[in-house]
Amino acid sequence: MDSHPHLRIHSRNPASRSNGPGLRSVIWTQGCTLACPGCFNPESHLSATGETTALDILARWVFAQAPAVEGLTISGGEPFQQAAALAEFLSMIRSQSDLSVIVFTGYTQNELARIPAVPACLESIDILIAGRYVASRRQASGLLGSSNKTAHFLSGRYQPADLANLPEAELWILPDGSIQLSGINPLQW
């Protein structure tokens, strides 16, 4: 039995247009020790909170959205602080669907190279957005929150032009009446 059968998640949304090309499901992981100053989602930093979800249940949720969505975006928190579980989850998504996958990380490529499960993750990722958010270099366009972040097109499925005209932000009113903001520039609301 795999020792990483769960992901701790902060939130999820079945349909977003501001988190990558096309209509996408989004999962925000829970837990981040990077704590970039100015992070829009500091509620996702504590690793002891959030919802622990079995990978097969989370995959079924993604597949239930699949008829309507082009892909899956994973953000955080810091997804690669759960790298082994993320690798297993992304492998499930890739092997059972043709959904594209985008992952946001605060780590640089050099830092990711030191995390053992990362190569298995990268095999299932189409676009990797890497690097810490730096508030003084805020850019908020093309999925890059700050100008030091880099977009890595790993599969050839997408090109930089595919990120050029994405909505910068979205606002959702959830069934419980709460409001969820998302996108690369949600502060515009």
**pLDDT over threshold 60, residue 141:** yes
169: in domain: yes
pLDDT value for 177: 85
CATH code for position 25: 3.20.20.70
115: in domain: yes
123: in domain: yes
Q: What is the pLDDT of residues 25-83, one digit of tens each?
A: 999 999 999 988 988 888 889 888 999 999 999 999 999 999 999 999 999 999 999 99
1: in domain: no
For 39, 128, 158, 169, the CA distances from 186, given in Å and listed in that order, are 11, 20, 24, 5
pLDDT value for 189: 44
- Tokens in use for 188? 């515009």
Q: What is the mean pLDDT of residues 98-121?
A: 96
The strand ranges marked E within the chain are 6-16, 24-29, 51-54, 71-75, 100-104, 127-130, 138-141, 144-146, 150-153, 170-173, 179-182
- Residues 145 and 139 sit within 8 Å (Cβ to Cβ): yes
Name the domain count of the chain: 1
pLDDT value for 187: 60
Q: What is the mean pLDDT of residues 101-122?
A: 96
**pLDDT over threshold 80, residue 143:** yes
Q: What is the mean pLDDT of residues 149-171?
A: 92
User: What mean pLDDT, rounded, does the chain reach?
Assistant: 91
pLDDT value for 180: 77
**% of the chain at pLDDT higher than 90:** 70
Q: How far apart are CA 109 and CA 186, in angstroms?
A: 26
Which residue range is the domain that position 121 belongs to?
6-188
100 vs 42, more confident: 100
Pairing of strands 144-146, 71-75: unpaired
